[in-house]
Amino acid sequence: MNDNEIKALVSLLDDDDQEVTQHVEGRIRQLGNSAIPFLETEWETNFNPFLQKRIEELIHDLQYTTVLERLLTWKETGGMDLLEGLWIVATYQYPDLSLDKLRQSLEQLYYDAWLVVRTDVHPADQVKGLNNVFYNEMKFSPNTKNFHSPANSMINQVLETRKGNTISLCLIYMMIAQKLGLPIYGVNLPNLFVLTYKAPTGVQFYINVFNRGLVFSTKDIDHYIAQLNLKPAPIFYQPCSNVDIIRRTLRNLMLSFDRNGDKVRMQEVERMLDALNEDADSMPLSDYTQR
């Protein structure tokens, strides 16, 4: 359809015949994001509150479907780019967010760290140098006042405010470290996300980014797991995948919306999480959007 045809279609949302409007909405959904600018124009020029609400819902549904499609594509192509995965999550609330701008922001952080952090020293000293830059110069810190704010799971907000939750701070720290060439990865501990420094030489220790980069050992994890009455498992000690990281980010976001009493958004994020499940490849997109 050309622009004039789309514009004419959108104008029919105000038709008195319910069958017509239902058909129009179905056609608009088929058009996808290309219909959004025309929906926004119709919203601005139409002063019918009922129609404006329907347009808002249509725009949200179209944007949400795009988020789900991007998540599925990201996973199916291997989930290699962690920043892209975090960007997709953030577009749930910030649909116009630019991935390129996020890359530029991260690149600037890397450059600032590269000027200061020495990578030709002992691993513990490498982490000590990165800690100094990350907490003292870049001013990243836990958002303890609003720990359950959804903004803590939005990479753009954490980069802007320099405040986040455990996993968002870990991921920014980790991405800077990896750009510096440091073998630092995420570890999925129960109730706590941490990082591990795991070198090919066999050197391995752990970093609690939420506690200003505190370094701890395998024995500390043993003790932590024992306190939770759990049996030790490789997942508690070894690096996890980017897909696992985004899954955990989405679980945190679900919890945030739940704590804020926003059940609708919590359920939408749950469907995003479902899209990353192991059996998601065999499920049609409509199973997520219509659930």
**Are residues 111 and 70 part of one domain?**
no
pLDDT recorded at residue 291: 32
Separation between Cα atoms, residue 184 and residue 196, nearest integer Å: 5
Strand order in the sheet with 184-189: 184-189, 192-198, 204-208, 214-216
> Is 48 in the same domain as 31?
yes
Residue 30, both tokens: 């088929």
Cα 239 to the chain's mean position, in Å?
Answer: 19
**For residue 50, what pLDDT is reported?**
77
Residue 262 lies in a domain: no
DSSP sequence for 217-278? -HHHHHHHHHHTT----GGGTS---HHHHHHHHHHHHHHHHHHTT-HHHHHHHHHHHHHTST
DSSP letter, residue 136: I
Kindly state whether residues 13 and 148 are assigned to the same domain: no
Distance of CA 251 to CAs 152, 161, 187, 198, Å? 12, 22, 15, 26
Structure tokens at 158: 């954490």
CATH no. for residue 191?
A: 3.10.620
User: Is the C-alpha dihedral spanning 129, 134, 138, 144 positive or negative?
Assistant: negative
Give the type of residue at 13. L
Single residue among 49, 76, 103 that ends a domain in this structure: 76
Domain shared by 28 and 109, yes or no: no
* Domain count across the chain: 2
What pLDDT shows up at residue 24?
Answer: 75
One digit per residue, the tens of pLDDT, for the chain of length 291 reads 666 777 777 776 766 677 777 777 778 787 777 788 878 887 787 777 777 888 888 889 899 999 999 999 999 999 999 999 999 999 999 999 999 999 999 999 999 999 999 999 999 999 999 999 999 999 999 999 998 999 999 999 999 999 999 999 999 999 999 999 999 999 999 999 999 999 999 999 999 999 999 999 999 999 999 999 999 999 999 999 999 999 999 999 999 999 999 999 999 999 999 999 865 444 343 443 433
Q: Within this chain, do residues 155 and 200 fall inside the same structural domain, yes or no? A: yes
**Residue 25, φ and ψ in degrees, nearest 5:** -60, -40
**Domain-ending residue, one of 76, 95, 114:** 76
Rg of the Cα trace of the chain?
22
pTM of the model: 0.87
Nearest CA to 247 out of 215, 263, 216, 269 is that of 269
Instruction: Residue 64: give the domain boundaries.
Output: 3-76
Is position 37 within any domain? Answer: yes
Quote the CA–CA distance of 184 and 280 in Å, as a whole number.
Answer: 29
Considering the domain architecture, whether residues 192 and 231 belong to the same structural domain is answered as yes
> Are 167 and 55 in the same domain?
no
Report the run of H or E that residue 53 belongs to, with start and end.
Answer: helix 49-76
Which of 260, 179, 91 is closest to 171 using CA atoms? 179
Q: Does residue 134 form part of some domain?
A: yes
Q: Say if 251 falls within a structural domain.
A: no
Whether 62 is in a domain gets the answer yes
**Same-domain status, 66 and 172:** no
Of 78, 44, 71, 74, nearest to 59 by C-alpha is 44
Asked if the structure places residue 156 within a domain, the reply is yes
Same domain for 16 and 112? no
Q: How many helices (H) and strands (E) does the chain have?
A: 13, 6
Q: Is residue 257 part of a domain?
A: no
In a domain, 288, yes or no: no
**Is the separation of the CB atoms in 164 and 150 below 8 Å?**
no
Tell how strand 204-208 and strand 192-198 pair up: antiparallel
Q: 28, 35 in Cβ contact below 8 A?
A: yes
Q: Are residues 89 and 179 in the same domain?
A: yes
Cβ neighbours for 271, distance < 8 A, ≥ 6 positions apart: 68, 288, 289, 291
Identify whether residues 139 and 13 lie together within a single domain: no
Instruction: Say what the pLDDT of residue 262 is.
Output: 95
- Alpha carbon distance 161, 213 (integer Å): 19
Contact 118, 128 (CB under 8 A): no
For residue 147, give both structure tokens. Answer: 């720990």
Q: Which tokens belong to 41?
A: 């124009």
**What is the reported pLDDT for 2?**
66
Among 227, 244, 261, identify where a domain stops: 244
Residues 95 and 113 in one domain: yes
